[in-house]
């Protein structure tokens, strides 16, 4: 039981990461690929936050009488990463829209065929 509790978070992180990875490499549709990338990204966030957790600790906001806090450093890194993440996702999605304008499709194999024809 304790082995499961000790590593469960990391295993789920690996599972999510692989789920995202699978979507990225196997999906043909570019929007779905972006969703896959986002799942991959969230798994990394989950890894950092899991590592920062201290059992019996509390959120890193100073309160009288509390001595055990979770690690604030991963929180800072991930907080900004989330906002940067949505900004880069938006850039990716606008590239998808431009591809749709240029090729009339967002299925990877279809516009690759068109590229090969040229």
Partner 1 sequence: MTEVLIDLVLLGMLAMTALRVIFLKDLFAVVMLFSIFSFVSALIFINLDAVDVAFTEAAVGAGISTVLMLGTIALTGRTEKKNSHSSILHLVVVCVTGAALIYGTMDMPPFGNADNPIHQHVAPRYIEDSPKEVGLPNIVTSVLASYRGFDTLGETVVVFAAMIGVLSLLGTARPTNKRATPESGLAKHRVLHVVAKIIIPFIILFALYVQFHGDYGPGGGFQAGVIAAAALILYALVFGASFAHRIVSPRQLEVFAPLGVLLYASVGLVGMIKGANFLDYNVLASTAAAGQHYGIIIIELGVGLTVFAAMLGLFYAFSNQVERSNVQ
| Residues 19-48: x where in contact with partner 1 by CB under 8 A, - otherwise, as a string | xxxxx-xxxxxxxx-xxx-xx--x--xx--
Single residue of 5, 115, 117, 118 touching partner 1 by CB under 8 A: 5
- C-alpha distances in angstroms, 95 versus 15, 29, 60, 85, 88? 28, 13, 39, 15, 11
Closer Cβ to partner 1, 58 or 114, answer by number: 58
Contact yes or no for 10/51 (Cβ under 8 A):
no
The two three-digit tokens of residue 13, written as one number: 């992180």
User: Hey, which residues does 58 pair with through a beta bridge?
Assistant: 69
HSE-CB at 41 with a 13 A cutoff on CA atoms is 17
User: Hey, which residues does 69 pair with through a beta bridge?
Assistant: 58
Report the alpha-carbon distance of residue 3 to residue 20 in Å, rounded: 26
Minimum CB separation of residue 74 from partner 1 in Å reads 8
Single residue of 44, 50, 114, 116 touching partner 1 by CB under 8 A: 50
Window 55 to 114, contacts with partner 1 (CB under 8 A): 55-63, 68-76, 78-80, 82-91, 93-98, 100, 106-107, 109-110
Interface with partner 1 (CB under 8 A), residue total 82
Minimum CB separation of residue 64 from partner 1 in Å reads 10
Closer Cβ to partner 1, 72 or 114, answer by number: 72
């Amino acid at each position: 039981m304790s082995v499961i509790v000790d590593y469960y978070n990391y295993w789920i992180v690996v599972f999510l990461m692989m789920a995202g990875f699978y979507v990225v490499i196997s999906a043909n549709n570019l929007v779905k690929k972006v969703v896959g990338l986002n799942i991959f990204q969230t798994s990394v966030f989950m890894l950092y936050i899991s590592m920062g957790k201290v059992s019996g600790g509390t959120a890193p906001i100073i309160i009288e009488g509390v001595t055990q806090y979770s690690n604030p450093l991963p929180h800072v890194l991930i907080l900004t990463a989330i906002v940067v993440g949505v900004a880069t996702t938006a850039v990716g999605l606008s590239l998808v829209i431009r591809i749709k304008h240029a090729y009339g499709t967002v299925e990877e194999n279809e516009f690759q065929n068109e590229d090969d024809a040229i």
